[in-house]
Amino acid sequence: MKTTRRTFIGATTMAAGAGILTSFTKDGKTLPRYKASGNGLKLSFRPYELQLKHVFTIASNSRTTTAVMLTEIEWEGVIGYGEASMPPYLGESHQTATKFLSSLNLSQFKDPFRMEEILDYVDAALPGNCAAKASVDIALHDLVGKLLNQPWYRIWGYSAETTPLTTFTIGIDKSAEVIAKTKEASAFKILKIKIGGGNDEEMIKSVRSVTNVPLCVDVNQGWKDRQEALDKVHWLKEQGIVFIEQPMDKHNFDDTAWLTQNSPLPIIADEAMQRVGDLERLHGVYSGVNCKLMKCTGMREAHKIIEMARSLKMKTLMGCMTETSCGISAASQLSPIVDWADLDGNLLISNDIFEGMKVIDGKVTLSDLPGIGMRKKV
């Protein structure tokens, strides 16, 4: 983002009285600088329910709504927004998130820039609750990015030009519906096909009857036998598939390691990959990992996961749940350095209340808005 005098004035005005100090660069430009002013962070939250445009079916279940919790952290008149997306199979709900968020006391923190200290406190408050923790992490990143007047991809030092294409997901369905959904997704240059529901060949053939774009597949642990899995991988390679996500049970390390060793396509961990601590044991078992903010407690840990996976020479995929543009824009801040992105969750819902990252010509396109790069729709 080009920081103009106008944006400085905007930031300064926005935070007037917020313990702001003004300093000057050599050429006389003013820079805003903040210090703790004695007022603590204010956390608020409200439940919301996402309406899905289509019934969404994967190998284990179907649904038409997703429960989310929308959070805000306010400090000195500046508000950061966050979100917890809680698909039922992850075990979190409006009730659990309410309990978790109510247990936090962020007013004890007078300085939002001490993010490590604040997020260590949030992570240690209760075990689990990863999506609820992510909702605080995202709101804090949004707040601090706004105070710095920069989007996070710039704070981390990444380039907006290197973002990947994003996949668009086609759920398991009958052939006619799969063909219709694939035609609807013609703007996307790569698709993710859900399989593992017993009709794998039919799913792929239906998609291939209307498009030649590269595909990746997500089995959601649906394959049970490793030799049968390897035969399927070879068949899928001939169909132009790019990678295979979570082919077998997340606990089945031995067969997955054998499959990865013998597979001509990268094998990516999703359900098996939660927190940064999982990476060490997944290294050598999978070719790469699908990192999602809602699984790993948010942007702070996702940043660590992606950077660590890259240093281990593992493939990286930035994924999502069904989310508003709040969670999706936050995740997209990391997309400039990943191999693939699966950031379509906001496109699967009909009641998004935010706008931020856009998919243009199939590519993740970051906004220059500060923080997590999104705003509330008016």
- Please state the closest distance from residue 274 (CB atom) to Mg ion, in A: 12
Is 71 or 166 the residue whose CB approaches Mg ion more closely?
166
Task: State how far the Cα of 278 lies from the Cα of 281, in Å rounded to an integer.
Answer: 6
User: To the nearest 10°, the Cα dihedral for 292, 306, 74, 93?
Assistant: 20
Which position has the token pair 């790569």?
Answer: 190
Residue with tokens 């950061």, as numbered in its chain: 80
Nearest distance from C-beta of residue 246 to Mg ion, angstroms: 6
**342 in contact with Mg ion (CB under 5 A):** no
Q: Give the residue closest to Mg ion by C-beta.
A: 270
Q: Nearest approach, Cβ of 172 to Mg ion (angstroms)? A: 13
Among the listed ranges 88-96, 139-147, 214-222, 354-362, the one in contact with Mg ion (CB under 5 A) is 214-222
Q: Give least dist CB 50 to Mg ion, A.
A: 18
Pairing of strands 78-86, 62-75: antiparallel
Q: Residue 51: count other Cβ atoms within 10 Å of its Cβ.
A: 13
Q: C-beta of 345: minimal distance to Mg ion in Å? A: 12
Binding segment for Mg ion among 90-98, 211-219, 222-230, 329-337 (CB under 5 A)?
211-219
Distance CA 354, CA 163 (A): 21
Q: Which is nearer to Mg ion, 59 or 115 (CB)?
A: 59
Q: Could you tell me which stretch among 28-36, 96-104, 268-276, 332-340 binds Mg ion (CB under 5 A)?
A: 268-276
Kindly indicate which of the ranges 17-25, 31-39, 218-226, 228-236 contains the residues binding Mg ion, using the contact rule CB under 5 A: 218-226
Strand ranges (E), the chain: 20-24, 30-34, 42-57, 62-75, 78-86, 168-170, 191-194, 215-218, 241-245, 267-269, 288-291, 315-318, 340-341, 354-355, 358-360, 363-365, 375-376
Phi, psi (degrees; rounded to nearest 5) at 61 = -165, 170
270 touching Mg ion, by CB under 5 A: yes
Q: Which lies closer to Mg ion via its Cβ, residue 255 or residue 270? A: 270
Min. distance of Cβ 322 from Mg ion in angstroms?
12
Where does this chain touch Mg ion (CB under 5 A) — which range of 6-14, 128-136, 233-241, 245-253?
245-253
Stretch that binds Mg ion, among 14-22, 62-70, 215-223, 332-340 (CB under 5 A): 215-223
Answer for the pair 149, 173: CB distance below 8 angstroms, yes or no. no
Least distance (Å) between residue 265 CB and Mg ion:
15
Q: How many residues bind Mg ion (CB under 5 A)?
A: 3
Q: Does 218 bind Mg ion (CB under 5 A)?
A: yes
Whole-number Å distance between alpha carbons of 166 and 361: 10
| 218 versus 301: smaller Cβ distance to Mg ion | 218
Cβ proximity to Mg ion: between 111 and 218 the closer is 218
Distance of CA 289 to the CA centre of its chain: 13
Q: Given the complex with Mg ion, which of 158 and 168 has the nearer CB atom?
A: 168
Distance CA 240, CA 208 (A): 9
Dihedral Cα 271, 272, 274, 275, nearest 10 deg = -170
Pairing between strand 20-24 and 30-34?
Answer: antiparallel
Closer CB to Mg ion, residue 243 or residue 354? 243
Which CB atom, from 41 or from 289, has the smaller least distance to Mg ion? Answer: 289
Looking at the DSSP bridge assignments, the partners of residue 46 are: 70
Nearest-approach distance from CB 86 to Mg ion, in angstroms: 16
CB 367, min distance to Mg ion, A: 26
What does the binding site for Mg ion look like in residue numbers (CB under 5 A)? Answer: 218, 245, 270
